[in-house]
Amino acid sequence: MEISLVTYNIHRAIGFDRKYRLDRIIDICREIDADIVALQEVDFQVPRSHRQDLAHLIGDALGMHYKLGLNVKLKQGHYGNATFSRFPITDSENLNITWGIKKKRGCLVTTIDLPKSTMALFNFHLGLAGMEQVRQKKKIVESESLRSLAHMPVVLLGDTNDRSSKLTAAFSDSGFKDTCVGTARTFPAYAPLLRLDRIFVSDQWSVKEHRVVRNSLTRVASDHLPVYARLTLNPK
């Protein structure tokens, strides 16, 4: 079985032109046409995004099942991670991966019913500090959530905020391989210098394609570029 995924930090749908334009994010997701879409920085009833429920609007526009995990509480509204799927989402949990007194961070864990299997997806947005990222990675891979789902094909993906690429080795040591071979910079979107957005997979998967989606629309719609991967399940 083959599936396609995308991870994308949408920056609250506020682009490099400082305009709130959710339609651009929807158009990008529609054009990529992935089976599963993992988004970060998704607003919920925040004034800067017209107090809209972005996850609901995106899910409705794409015709996909979705789950929203809210992490950061603002004076008005919240924001967090959202996962969308063409396939039914049978279970979800918002794993708290906040470290110490740093900003609230979360990893949205979803169980997705594929036609020939059931998979687990971990959609995260890690912190800015190197030590914070290491601790958050540990919280994810040593969580009861992952232990209980480890018998399934697993995908971990999101905005790592890792400027040094140290997390690729750390995830590899825990049994998850990076879908990217080589350089695939994603930030800042207009002229990318850093590879912050990554996809890691368990050994049940083979990677058929990995690419950064860079075009005239993705360069302006957010401060990050979307990352796409196409995977196949290995025979048992």
What SS3 state is found at 109? strand
Provide the pLDDT for residue 204.
Answer: 96
Cα–Cα distances in angstroms (integers) from residue 16 to residues 11, 37, 159, 216, 220, in the given order? 10, 22, 18, 12, 5
User: Count of CB atoms within 10 A of residue 231's CB?
Assistant: 25
Q: Which CB contacts under 8 angstroms, 24+ apart, belong to 204-208?
A: 204/152, 204/153, 204/154, 204/233, 204/234, 205/153, 205/155, 205/231, 205/232, 205/233, 205/234, 206/231, 206/232, 206/233, 206/234, 207/177, 207/179, 207/231, 208/2, 208/232
Provide the pLDDT for residue 182.
Answer: 79
pTM for the full predicted model: 0.97
Query: Which letter does DSSP use for residue 173 in this model?
Result: H
- Are 198 and 160 spatial neighbours (Cβ–Cβ below 8 Å)? yes
- Identify the residue whose tokens are 């890691």: 200
Look up the CATH number of the domain holding residue 224.
3.60.10.10
Provide the pLDDT for residue 145.
Answer: 96
Provide the pLDDT for residue 215.
Answer: 97
- Are 42 and 10 spatial neighbours (Cβ–Cβ below 8 Å)? yes
**Number of domains into which the chain is organized:** 1
Provide the pLDDT for residue 101.
Answer: 80
User: Which structural domain, as residue segments, surrounds residue 175?
Assistant: 2-233
Provide the pLDDT for residue 183.
Answer: 81
- What does the alpha-carbon distance between residue 80 and residue 93 come to, in Å, rounded to a whole number? 13
Provide the pLDDT for residue 216.
Answer: 97
Provide the pLDDT for residue 236.
Answer: 75
The pLDDT tens digits along the chain (236 residues) read: 899 999 999 999 999 999 999 999 999 999 999 999 999 999 999 999 999 999 999 999 999 999 999 999 999 999 999 999 999 999 999 999 998 888 899 999 999 999 989 999 999 999 999 899 999 999 999 999 999 999 999 999 999 999 988 898 899 999 999 999 878 999 999 999 999 999 999 999 999 999 999 999 999 999 999 999 999 999 87
